[in-house]
Structure 1
Amino acid sequence: MREQQLLELAERLFIEGGYGGFSVEDLCREAGVSRPIVYDHFGSRDGLYLACLRRVREEFENTLIDAARDAPDLETAIRQGADAFFTIIERDPRRWSLVYGGPSELVGSLADQIYELRTQTIDRISAITIRFAPHADREAVTAHAHAVSGAGEQIGRWWLHNPEIPRERIVDHFCTFARRTFLQLAAAGPTAAAGSVPVL
């Protein structure tokens, strides 16, 4: 329970001050605990940051995957997943920005671990795609999943600066791109190579 309380407080402080503006001392003061308690749970500020990202990403991913899981076809899965993704942004843009708009200057082990979190999301997108495109080249599926995930993030950032655009239109814009990208994988035959996927 204490760990979850610390994560909730840390998440709020990371959202308010960013990675660079966060300090363990501020967290200890807000939570009424000592530094050793925080370090016992998370090891370091970086460990705390990663724990916050994992927690939020897992919530977001589960929402996305659940939305697409029972879709009868790939096109429906794309739209239902997209609607869930952009609903998350609309409902809690600052929390979404913590996960998808993190500091680009991070390097080293922390950057590598954040990349691993992103690839876990890609793996889940790929798994859904393979369900509807079982004969598609696996390398192509992964590449397309990276492209579509990146497009979703970038459209999300653009939408945050243009909130007057209705969510339904944002979903349409994303689906126009993702549909063409993924449906060509679904059209690939069992012997199709990564470079020979037909364009619809």
Structure 2
Amino acid sequence: MAEQPRRRLAPEVRRAQLIAVARDVFVEHGYQGAAVEDIAAAAGVTRTLIYKYFADKDEIYLECLRAARTELDEAVVSAAGTMTTPEDQLRAGFGAYFRFVRDSGTAWDVLFGGGAAVAGRVADSAAHHRYDTAEVIGGLIRSAVPRLDAELASSYAHAISGAAEQAAKWWRRHPDVSAEDMVERMMDALWTGLERVAERNA
């Protein structure tokens, strides 16, 4: 029986597959330790095919980061969007965030937790994605408190985003603490001030 020819994947499907494989490679080897050859080997393709879709390792990493950020943003917006009060929205958003950290594990370390030791163009782009994620939170705040000034909402959102990221880094060192406990700790630390903001702008 003649061997069946290998089915060629659509470009968008192949690209998504390579990003998923690359994420696992970065998790295993770290950003500095991973090479394009490692990604090609893990995907069962040639280096030439990798370079058909990506210019270099930096671009592959940035695509992994972009995909993960999109997943995180969508999870937070989806969770918060089901709630009607600012307090419940904040708690639901934190819940989605810490579940993402818990379920992503070491992938979060590499992509968000500073474990990648990135610099230059990659670091600049990572900072840009971090800024955009905070602005997503700002949109949720403005939705919950429509009368709040947009600039104020943005500044509060960046404070929340930074606090959540640092709390997640701490949590990765203290895995005995539950995601639910982390949510309540963040609420204890942040909700009192935000509650007053919501009341003043109701």
TM-score (norm 1): 0.87
What amino acid maps onto 2:66 in structure 1? R
1:145 — aligned with what?
157
**For the residues of structure 2 that align with 1:189 and 1:58, how far apart are their CA atoms?**
30
Q: Is the 8 A contact 1:53 1:98 kept in 2?
A: no
Q: Superposed, which structure 2 residues align to 1:66-81 within 5 Å?
A: 66-81=78-93
Given the alignment, which residue of 168, 191, 198 partners 2:180? 168
**For the residues of structure 2 that align with 1:89 and 1:58, how far apart are their CA atoms?**
14
1:63 — aligned with what?
75
Whether 1:43 and 2:55 are equivalent positions in the alignment is yes
Aligned residue pair count: 190
What amino acid maps onto 1:83 in structure 2? G
Structure 1: 5+ residue runs without aligned partners?
A: 191-200
Q: Tell me the SS of whatever aligns to 1:19.
A: helix
Task: Report the more deviating stretch, 2-11 or 44-53.
Answer: 2-11
2:23 — aligned with what?
11
Task: Report the more deviating stretch, 177-186 or 144-153.
Answer: 177-186
Deviation at 1:189, TM superposition (A): 4.2
Residues 23 and 82 (structure 1 numbering): CA distance in 2 closer, same or farther, change over 3 Å?
A: same
Q: Is the 8 A contact 2:30 2:116 kept in 1?
A: no
Identity of aligned residues (%): 31
What is the Cα-based RMSD across aligned positions, in Å?
A: 1.8
Q: Deviations over 1:58-114 (max 9, x none)?
A: 112111110001211100001111111112222231122222113575333222211
Given the alignment, which residue of 144, 164, 184 partners 1:132? 144
Deviation at 1:139, TM superposition (A): 2.0
Structure 2: 5+ residue runs without aligned partners?
A: 1-12
